[in-house]
Each structure stands twice: as C-alpha cells, then as structure tokens.
Chain A
Amino acid sequence: MEWTKDKEKKILFKYRFALTVKVIRVILATLFFFWLYMLIVSISYDALGLDKKHLFYSRVAMDWTQPNMQEDFGSIESAEITPFLTQKISYPVYKMIGKEPELVGTKQLAKRLVPMYSTNQTEYLKPKNEQEYSFYLPEHPKTGNKLEANEHPGVWTKLDKVHEGTVAELSFSTKAYMTPEEMLEFLKPYDLDVLWMPLYTGELQDFEVGTWGSSNSLSVDPFGFTGGRDTHEGYMSPSKNLLFEELTDENKKLMLKQMKNLIENESASYRESFLGLSHLEERYDYLMKEGFQVYGAVVTGPVKELLKLRKNEQIQGANLGDLSYWNWSEE
C-alpha cells in the first residue's frame, strides 16, 4: 500500500484521539478507585465506631482541663475520615450560665495516624478572657508558705451594679485546701450550682509544670474535678454525672477509673498530644496516695447570690465569667 499524506494525518489523528481517551480513562479510573476507597474507609470507620472513643476521651479531657465546658446532651457531632485516615471530629461546646447552657464554641479534633501530629482545639465564638478562670494555690507546694491571690475588686462592683434579674458564672480560689465534700458543704448556704473545682494533683511537688503569678501568688494550669463520666458497650452509651454531693464518691471513682484506663490502654502521645493531658500518671499516683484536695470552684447562679460570696473570708481571687438573662429556678 502506498504511503500518502492522508495516511500520515490519519495515524497522527488516531494517536491524539487515543491519547485523549487514555487520559480520560485514567482520570475516570482514578476517580472511581478513590470513590471506592473512600466508600470502604467511611463504612469501616462508621462500623468500627472509632470516633466514639475519641469523642468520649476528648470530653473527659475537657472536663478535667477546661472549667465549666461541656457538650450539650444530644448535640450534633460530626465525624469524618479523610483519605489519609485522619479522623476529624467536631462538636459544639457550651458552658452553664445559670440553669441554661450557652454555646461558646466548637471543639475541633484531628486524630492523625501519627498521634504526635494530632490536634485538639476549641474555637471560641468570642475572644476568651484570660482571667476568666485563674485559680491560686493556697500554699506553696515546695515550701508550704501561705500564698495569696491576685484580687480583682471590679468583680464585686460589677455584680453589685448589674440587675438582680441576671445570672452569672464566677470562679474563685480558697485560702485552704478542702476535700470536694467540704467544698460542697462550704457552698451549701448559697443558692448556687457548683460546676467545677480546681484539683491539686501534686504539681511542683511530684512533677514540674509551668507557673505564673507574683511574689506572693502562684497559679498552675488547672486540672479539675467535676461530674464523672462513664461508658458502656464500647463507648456507645456514655453518661455524665452532675457535681452533686451525693454523687461525690462515685465521681471520684469515675475520675480515677478514666485516668487509669487512659494510662493503661492509651499511648503517652495520645494522652498528651491529642487530649492535652500532661503528667497523667503522676497525677493519678498523687490522687491515689493523697486523696482529692480542691482549692476553688466555678459556680453559677443569680448575681446577688454570687455577691454574698464577697463576705466569705475563705474566698480569694474571684473572677467573673459570663452573664446572662434570668433563667434561675429554685430546686
């Protein structure tokens, strides 16, 4: 057969057409396999319920390290897994102002294959007040010297000036360590809800932590006691107690149980990088040895009821949190 220019054109046209078809086929095949991969990964992720464990422990960690911060029961949480198997979980977080929860932001968790690079952040709706939760140790853990707190007199003035139909959140420290039971008894005369208590877990005595304060005051990153959490059926049925007097023993046991679970079953990078829980083993050992000692509280209630705390000699370093319209009801 003779060679012609048309034959050359035909071959080159067929080559361009075949190349285009091949490229399209590769793209379609890649998209299909990606879709198939994501389908398998997402179905397996949902079936295994891996997000449930991370959700549970992130809430446990939030209970201990972020005063008066919790998820609302039944709130919508979102969990997804990326092509690189990073689990992204988010859920709204609230704080109690009076008797009603108020949305303050969103918890954003990213659990990566390498726990070191996992992140756990809270995105707040409005800028966070640095002094909102400052707790002051009543005495120096190393020397035993009595310490004081940085006072903010404006707190009481604000509570005095606002209308009595307002509820607020207040945090304060005490001049001496107390047991959680003593703290609840101490606050019993006031019509307030106790939400959280800073717990002394051996800081500066059994392990070193960052501190701040002045010559006669000392603060550490708070680690707190609140209503305990438990879970059944492989994290499928989580439950949370309130910080009630009659539940104090159970709350202590639940706190120790979850600390032990985390120490025994999870890696240090999971606890520290992902959950933000430092020195958990030392804290657990201290609590087992010395028991629970708190040195302050976060409370909420009507402003005039909170104002009564001003006269209490045991209270120091009070800080005012958020205020809200009246939503209080006597129990």
Chain B
Amino acid sequence: MDDGRRNDLDNLYRKYTKPLYYFLLKLSGSHQLAEDLTQETFVRATISLSFYQNEDVRAWLFKVARNAYLDEWRRRQRRKWVPFADYLFSKDEMASPYGLPEDEAIQAETSYDLQQLMTYLPEQYRSILYLREVEMFSYHEIEEALELTESQVKVTLHRARKRLAQMAEKQGWKDDEHGMD
C-alpha cells in the first residue's frame, strides 16, 4: 500500500471512529467491546479493501462493523461449549442480537431511556433504528449497510418502530414525551 493511500485510509478511519464506536456500543452494550470491535472493523475493512466495490463508504464501514459484532456474538456462543472458557476469555457482557426478553423490559424499573429500551429489540431492529434515527442514514445507505432490498428496509423499519412503540406503551410512555417518530 503506498503512503498516499495509507494516509487516505487513516483519515477515513479517523472520521468514522466515533460513529462506529457508538453504533457498536449500541449493539454490544459494552464500552470495552465497542472499542475492540471498532478496531476489528478497521482491520477487516483494510484486509477486504480489494473487495470494496465503490459502495457508499459509510454504509460499507457500518456493514463491516455489524458483521464484526455478529461474528463476535457467534464466537462467544461457541465458547460456551468449551470447558473452563470463562477463565480463559474476557467476561465482558455483550448484548444479544436477539434482544432481551420483553418481560424484562416491562418489569425493569429503570427503562426510562429510549436508547436503553432499544437493547430489548432484536439486533436488526436496533441497527435499522440506530442508523436511521441517530446516524441519519438514507434508505439507500441502509440497504447497503444491512444488505436489504428497498422494500425490506421499509418493512423492517416500520416493524422496528411499531415494536419499540409497543414496548414504550407498555412502559407507560407517551409519544410526545420521548419524541418518537
């Protein structure tokens, strides 16, 4: 890799470190893990640069980040079968891609925060809501980042909002208080 290209890459990563970190923090629920997954995202992105096909850079980096998170989750699930794995590997908690059980959300007394409530949603709903509402991704960018078609993006976004609204309602929230879309 020549110096010019390396500098371009460094600048690109510097620009996206923060948004990717917060996205991964939202997915994983752990600061430490979000840091590790952000650097893992950059490693993967650098290695797979040759596969990058003029997609939207931001969407592509978020796609890589999401895959890093899902792979980390799968790796942790596999480790559960390894004897004494708890002693060998990091014990950082990690939010499940399937979300926490809804009953827990209803019973949780501290679920006043919308962001926290989102941890009870499945990963795909969490990702699509975060990318749309926080990162202000266009539908096209979401299509690339989550590898969905346009109609799938619309349907998934609609369902994610509906599910979040249902959960918020069960918590006794009102729409105007939290400004839900």
Contact = CB atoms under 8 A, between A and B. Distances in A.
B125 interface: no
17 contacts: A1-B31, A3-B18, A3-B21, A7-B21, A8-B14, A11-B21, A11-B35, A11-B38, A11-B39, A11-B42, A12-B13, A14-B36, A15-B39, A15-B43, A18-B40, A18-B43, A22-B47
A14 B47 contact: no
A15 B6 CA distance: 13
Interface string B26-66: 00000100011011101100110000000000000000000
Contacts of A7: 21, 35
A8 B31 contact: no
Contacts of B31: 1
B96 interface: no
A8 B39 contact: no
Contact of B17 (A12, A19, A22): A12
A8 B35 contact: no
A8 B39 CA distance: 10
B35 A14 contact: yes
A66 B21 CA distance: 76
B102 interface: no
Interface in B1-36: 10, 13-14, 17-18, 21-22, 31, 35-36
Given A10-B35, A11-B35, A12-B17, 11 more contacts: A8-B14, A8-B17, A8-B18, A11-B42, A15-B38, A15-B39, A15-B42, A15-B43, A18-B40, A18-B43, A22-B47
A208 to B, nearest CB: 55
A18 B18 CA distance: 19
Contacts of A10: 35
A9 to B, nearest CB: 9
Q: Which of B21, B40, B42, B43 has the most C-beta atoms of chain A within 10 angstroms of its own C-beta?
A: B43
A11 B14 CA distance: 9
A15 B13 contact: yes
B46 A11 contact: no
A10 B21 CA distance: 12
Nearest to B31: A1
B5 to A, nearest CB: 14
Contact of A11 (B10, B17, B22): B17
Contacts of A14: 35-36, 39
**What 8 pairs between A and B have smallest CB-CB spacing?**
A15-B39, A15-B42, A14-B39, A8-B17, A19-B43, A18-B43, A11-B38, A1-B31
A291 B42 CA distance: 79
Contacts of B14: 8, 12
A10 B47 CA distance: 20
Contacts of B18: 3, 8
Contacts of B38: 11, 15
A19 to B, nearest CB: 5
Contacts of B40: 18
Interface in B98-150: none
A11 B43 CA distance: 11
Contacts of B36: 14
Contacts of A12: 10, 13-14, 17, 39, 42
Nearest to A3: B18
A14 B39 CA distance: 6
B23 to A, nearest CB: 13
A19 B46 CA distance: 8
Interface string A10-32: 11101100110010000000000
A22 B43 CA distance: 9
B63 to A, nearest CB: 17
Contacts of A3: 18, 21-22
A28 B14 CA distance: 30
A276 B24 CA distance: 68
Nearest to A8: B17
Nearest to B41: A15
Contacts of B10: 12
A11 B42 CA distance: 9
Nearest to A14: B39
Contacts of B42: 11-12, 15, 19
